[in-house]
Amino acid sequence: MTIEFDKNGYALSSGYMSVHRSDPETKRWLGAHNEFMSVGTGLAPNSYLDGPKGDSGDSYAWCRDSDDADWCRVEDHCGKTAYGKATRAKMEITELGPIPDTHTLLAPISPFDSWNEQAQIWEPDSTAEQQAKLKAAKTEQSTRLANANQQIAILKPAVDGGYAKPEHKQLLADWQRCRYELTLVPEQLGWPAEPQWPAEPEKVI
């Protein structure tokens, strides 16, 4: 049924008709609905007699334009995950529109990738990867050295004082040897990517 409206936008008759709606905030087209229109009433806010023409296409949505005069295609990446070009941090896209220039939909392959803006791709950053491995190896070495120092600090006074258990004399020597070998680990060919740590002796505590 076709219902005509006067120049002020009020229905000249009553009946059901197809009305297109848009989201009040995003202006996204919500579809067409059959609504009952009473004579002398007008369309509800964000309701229109005309609808979008055709399919919006992939990654696009129909929205009402800024003048509220027609429908236009707007980029729609809502629900997708974008990645910061500088930080590689994830961000879920929740708003209509183009992807921010600071982000990309391409996921980095590793935590050490850097973004090539000209080529529009992620590239491996071997320097950053090497620095991360070196930092991790040094942290592990410091932890192991601190543990060795703790065991030696417990055993040495007893051995020097002559009141240590017989087996603790050898244990002190084992820990001192372990501590020395820990200082040599950076000289290995596999440092810092694949360090081979010396076996730790039995702990006193």
**Domain segments of the chain: what residues?**
15-75, 81-124, 127-187
Average pLDDT over residues 121-126: 95
Average pLDDT over residues 132-152: 98
pLDDT at residue 205, as a whole number: 87
pLDDT at residue 1, as a whole number: 63
What digits encode the pLDDT tens for the residues 99-108?
Answer: 999 999 999 9
Residue 2: pLDDT over 70: yes
Classify strands 71-75 and 29-37 as parallel, antiparallel or unpaired: unpaired
What integer best gives the mean pLDDT of the chain?
95
Average pLDDT over residues 174-187: 98
Place of tokens 């932890």: 143
Q: Any residues with CB less than 8 A from the CB of 179 and at least 6 apart, and which? A: 145, 148, 149, 152
Residue 111: pLDDT over 80: yes
What digits encode the pLDDT tens for the residues 190-205?
Answer: 999 999 999 999 999 8
- Rounded to the nearest angstrom, the gap between the alpha carbon of residue 91 and the centroid of all alpha carbons in its chain is 5
What digits encode the pLDDT tens for the residues 15-51?
Answer: 999 999 999 999 999 999 999 999 999 999 999 999 9
Nearest in space to 87 (alpha carbons), one of 103, 101, 109, 99: 103
74 band by pLDDT with thresholds 50, 70 and 90:
very high
- Rounded to the nearest angstrom, the gap between the alpha carbon of residue 45 and the centroid of all alpha carbons in its chain is 38
Full-prediction pTM beyond 0.85?
no
Place of tokens 């009433």: 41
Return the exposure string of 149-174: e unless at least 16 CB atoms fall within 10 Å of the residue's CB, then b. eebbebbeeebeeeebeeebeebbeb
